[in-house]
Structure 1
Amino acid sequence: MDITLILLIIGLISIILSFFFGKSSSGHEEDIENISISLHHETNQLKKRLRAVEEELMIGVSTIAKTQPVKNKPVHEIIINQILSLHAQGYSVNEIAKRSSLANDQVLEVLKSRGATV
């Protein structure tokens, strides 16, 4: 037999076989698409659950914050100087508290600690 004839027969057999075996890849594509869709749904469900847990934690934190008293932080020296200056100018404790963003009790503590008469 001639070599070209052998190559021609092998080529035809390869083409015929590719029609039968080529369709199996479409099944794999469908499987991959189904897996991708299910993964997307599961991810969305996990995100929803995570949001719900975060909201529960935030609710828990806010109730804890409401039940526990907040301790006074130390007042910065610049704020102390501002309080003393405003007091020297004749401002009331309420006005000083508003301007310095402190509670009235904190303003009184600062004034008493620095020897100012209230």
Structure 2
Amino acid sequence: MKLLDLSILLMSIGILLIIISFFFKNSSQKIEKDVEELSISIFQETNNLKRRMKIVEEELLLEPEFQVKSKTAPSPQQVQSPKVQQVMQAVQQAAQASKVTSTTTQTKPIHQIIVSQVHELNKQGLSVAEISIRSNLTEEQVRQVIANGGR
């Protein structure tokens, strides 16, 4: 009789635990939902950052000075605002100051991308000074690249 009472007691406890488990929320589903929401928000943030970086890169590369000159179009100096002209002058002064220090240091080889950029800017009719500012090279290096034809 005791064996039968023990098995009935264990069975009733098991059934009771099963019924109680239906009333408790499944925490793993909540965690899965939280992780999914987090991954979606991270994905959206990275896409927003990529889009912003692309806009910034385009703004840096597509300034008015990079437009192809036509015979009737005004020169870039006439189109630029005074603030842009001030920035350009400051950059030129900084470039000239860096030229003094760079002449004392050993010259590094110029990357092929910069060489092709120098040639494209030269084809657009920009002066050596403007090319040196945009390519971060000294005027002497720009003249050497143009004279060597990319070699």
TM-score, normalised to structure 2, is 0.39
TM-score, normalised to structure 1, is 0.47
Give the structure, 1 or 2, with the largest relative contact order (CA under 8 Å, sep 6 or more).
2
Highest CA radius of gyration, 1 or 2?
1
